[in-house]
Amino acid sequence: MSDSARQATRLDAIGGHFDPWLLGISCALACLGVVMVGSASIGVADGHDVGPFYFLTRHVVFLAIGLVGAVWVMRTELKTIEQHNQWLLLVCFVLLIAVFVPGIGRSVNGARRWLNLGFSNFQAVEAVKLLYIVWLASYLKRYSEEVTATWGAMLKPIGVAVALVMMLLLQPDFGSSSLLLAITAGMLVLGGVNMPRMFGPVLIGLPVLAVVAIAEPYRVVRLTSFLDPWQDPFKTGYQLTNALMAVGRGEWLGVGLGASVQKLSYLPEAHTDFIMAVIAEEFGFLGVCLVVGLYAGLAGRAFWLGLKCVEMRRHFAGYCAFGIALWMSLQSFVSIGVNLGLLPTKGLTLPMISYGGSSVIMTCAALGLLLRVSYELDRAQRQVARVRNETAPPSAANDPGAPSPTAAPMPSRKPAPVASAMTSRGTSRLQQRVEPTLGRIA
């Protein structure tokens, strides 16, 4: 066996580590969700004439399913996921079409957004968010140069997003439609799209969204009630006024876990869309700051991982991290804003905290993908560090006072010659074996 082959074998034995901050924040959000669903759903369960822990039990089951899915994603190589990107986009359209098929799709409260799985309903758009992000990450990697230079490459993902949004508006689901468009725009910007070219689609899309928003009477009612919920507190402003009363009762430290009054059949959807109001009532301003801090930490860490991946030319992994960061940050921002009366009412759950089978399962899968990104990034960094140590001159390795191989070279007046060791055939093969994506994008 050659020296380069033996080195490659040793490098294959190097593993990575999952990001501890990301793992800790995910576990904290999951635990907080279990506690708050158990607290907020007691009044709802009583109204449905089921046991007091009915919704808590189901939430724990959904969380367990999501954990299994997350572990499966965490053990799957990103290159394997990337190979199926075209099929993932096809699944997005199939899921959104299936909700309109009789016997498969199910309508709840006038909206046809769910798939009937027998034991539970599954909201198709929750899976579409993750699958679309993975497809778009793969697209931005494959056509990174074209996206920055041509109109066609930039407009293709926008066209795909518009097609998905049109199907979502038929359900109707304006909140998820806006979220999907925002994720698309954010990923294109982070993918290096030419900013002046983005102004055209944005200037066209914003008025169209405004027209769509006011085209339905119930959306206009939500907007007007958001501006002044106390004008009709028992009808159009009922949800928001009760949410604001819950927030006001919490004051600084809250009334205590389980002591919320608004969750007792006063606040609609206390365990799903308005669970943040219950958190504010029971844990006060301090609890709200804690939740906001957890989501800020999650999004910030995901953006940091994406940046590090792009720096190492692991573009697919980096764009996946960017997309999930945008998803989690935007959805949590909208959900918290709705509960605090800062935004009009939208049916978006609080990721990992609100009750909801499809939301919990797909959020777990998304966090599993994010943890996989952190694992492969750490593994790649360890492998590159090993290569640099093994290709360092012996004198530098034996001299305690010499700078480390990973340290930046000292500035020189003359251009440094290219090291013959780095241009040798064996080392080139070794670098390709260690990091297939280094040095090329496609």
- Residue 432 pLDDT level (bands cut at 50, 70, 90): very low
- Residue 9: the pLDDT is 58
The total number of residues shown for the chain amounts to: 442
- Residue 393: what are its φ and ψ, rounded to 5°? -60, 145
| pLDDT at residue 422 tops 50 | no
Query: Which of 328, 327, 326, 308 has the alpha carbon at shortest distance from 318?
Result: 308
Query: Which of 112, 90, 88 has the alpha carbon at shortest distance from 100?
Result: 112
- Residue 430: the pLDDT is 37
pLDDT digits (tens, 9 = 90+) for 261-315: 999 888 988 999 999 999 999 999 999 999 999 999 999 999 999 999 999 999 9
pLDDT digits (tens, 9 = 90+) for 163-174: 999 999 998 888
Residue 86: count of CB within 10 angstroms of its CB: 11
Residue 144 vs residues 9, 30, 318, 344, 441: alpha-carbon distances, Å = 32, 35, 13, 36, 8
| pLDDT at residue 410 tops 60 | no
| CA 96 – CA 85 distance, rounded (Å) | 17
- What angle do helix axes 238-250 and 275-311 make, rounded to 10 degrees? 80
Query: Which of 373, 372, 365 has the alpha carbon at shortest distance from 304?
Result: 373
Query: Which of 343, 320, 323 has the alpha carbon at shortest distance from 333?
Result: 343
Percent of the chain residues past pLDDT 70, beyond the cut: 86
Q: Name the residue with tokens 């050659």.
A: 2
Most confident of 105-109, 151-155, 192-196, 304-308: 304-308
| pLDDT at residue 424 tops 80 | no
Average pLDDT over residues 401-409: 46
Average pLDDT over residues 194-203: 85
| CA 137 – CA 85 distance, rounded (Å) | 9
| CA 94 – CA 374 distance, rounded (Å) | 31
- Residue 417: what are its φ and ψ, rounded to 5°? -70, 150
* 131 HSE (CA, 13 A, CB side): 19
Query: Which of 250, 242, 233, 235 has the alpha carbon at shortest distance from 268?
Result: 242
pLDDT digits (tens, 9 = 90+) for 37-96: 999 998 888 878 888 899 999 999 999 999 999 999 999 999 999 998 889 999 999 999
Average pLDDT over residues 144-165: 91
- Residue 217: the pLDDT is 82
Q: For residue 172, say if its preceding peptide bond is cis, omega within 30 degrees of 0.
A: yes
| pLDDT at residue 388 tops 90 | no
pLDDT digits (tens, 9 = 90+) for 108-129: 877 888 998 877 889 999 999 9
Bridge pairing between strands 111-116 and 105-108: antiparallel
